[in-house]
Amino acid sequence: MSDSIKRPAIQSVSRAISILRCFVGSRELGLSEISRMIGLHKSTTAGIINTLKAEKFLEQNEENGKFRLGIDLFCLAVNAKLELCDVCEPYLNSLLEATGETVNLALRDGDSVVYVEKKESPHSMRICTSVGKRLPLYCTAIGKAILAFLDEAEVLKLFDGLTLEQLTSNTITSKELLMANLRAARKRGVAYDFEELEYGLICVAAPIFDKRGTPVGAVSVSGPSIRMNEQTRESIAGELLKTAGAICQEISRTAAL
C-alpha cells in the first residue's frame, strides 16, 4: 500500500491524545470535566486516564483528585526540543555573555522546579545543576520567583502540611518568613537564594509568565558567593528583568506556553 494513502486513525490513541489536549489552557482537570470535553463516557475516559497515569503522561493531585500533565510527557517535550527552549535560547546566551555566570531556565512542576536549559559559566567553580534536575520551590531563587507571583492563598495551600527541610543554616523553614520573603521578591521583581540550597551558592531569578499571566517558570543566574557581591547581584538583577521581560514578549507572539 502506498504511503500516500490515508490510513484510518487508531481510536484508542486518538482518544488519549484528545485527553492530553484538554489540558491546553488548564492546569488541572477532573474526570467529569475531561469526560465532557472529549464526549466520552466516564468509565471509558477513566480507563484511558489510568493508562496515561501508568505511563506518567498524567499525574493525579492526591488532595483534590484532579489530573495534570505528567513529568514524563514534559521530558519527551524537552528531548524533542521544547519550543520554549527555542524561544529562550538567544536571550539565555545574551544573559550568559552579559553576566559571565551560569544561566538556568526552569519550569514549575507542582512544589518543585525542573531545569530545562542551562548555559555554563566560563569561570571556575561552576554550578552543579543539570537539565532535567528537580529542586524544591521554597529554597531556590527560581522557585521563589515563581511563588512570589502566585496568589498567596495558592502558595499557602501548596505548602499546607509540608515540612520545609533545612538544607543549610540559611534555608527558610518558617512559612511566615517565606511568605514575607516572597512579598519582598514580588516588589523587587526578582528573587534571591542566599546559600539556602547549597553553601557557597548565590542565585538571582526572575519569573516567566504564560499568555494568561501565570508564572510558570523562571530564568536565573547563579554563581559562587565570592563572586556574587551586592554590586554584582544588582547588575545581574537588572539584566534578568530585561531578559525575562523580553522572553515574555516573545512568548506572547508565539505558541510557547
Q: What is the pLDDT of residue 199?
A: 92
Q: Are 156 and 124 in contact (CB under 8 A)?
A: no
The whole-number mean pLDDT for each consecutive block of 10 residues of the chain, a chain of 257 residues, reads: 55 89 82 92 93 90 89 67 73 91 88 85 66 84 94 86 88 92 94 93 92 87 91 93 89 66
Q: Rounded to 5 degrees, what are φ and ψ at 91?
A: -70, -40
CA-nearest of 251, 252, 208, 248 to 108 is 208
CA-nearest of 257, 253, 156, 178 to 213 is 257
Angle at 130 between CA 108 and CA 51, to 5 degrees: 55
Q: What is the pLDDT of residue 162?
A: 80
178 CB-side CA count, 13 A? 25
Rounded to whole angstroms, the Cα distance separating 76 from 65 reads 25
172 CB-side CA count, 13 A? 21
Angle at 144 between CA 29 and CA 172, to 5 degrees: 120
Q: Rounded to 5 degrees, what are φ and ψ at 124?
A: -75, 175
Q: What is the pLDDT of residue 78?
A: 58
Residue 178 identity (one-letter amino acid): L
Q: Are 34 and 16 in contact (CB under 8 A)?
A: no
3-state secondary structure of 5: coil
Task: Give pLDDT tens digits for 121-142.
Answer: 877 555 666 677 788 899 999 9
Rounded to whole angstroms, the Cα distance separating 113 from 131 reads 11
Rounded to whole angstroms, the Cα distance separating 180 from 187 reads 11
Q: What is the pLDDT of residue 43?
A: 92
Q: What does the block give as the cell for 175?
A: 512559612
Task: Give pLDDT tens digits for 219-246.
Answer: 999 999 899 999 999 999 999 999 999 8
Q: What is the DSSP string of 199-214?
A: TTEEEEEEEEE-TTS-
3-state secondary structure of 225: coil
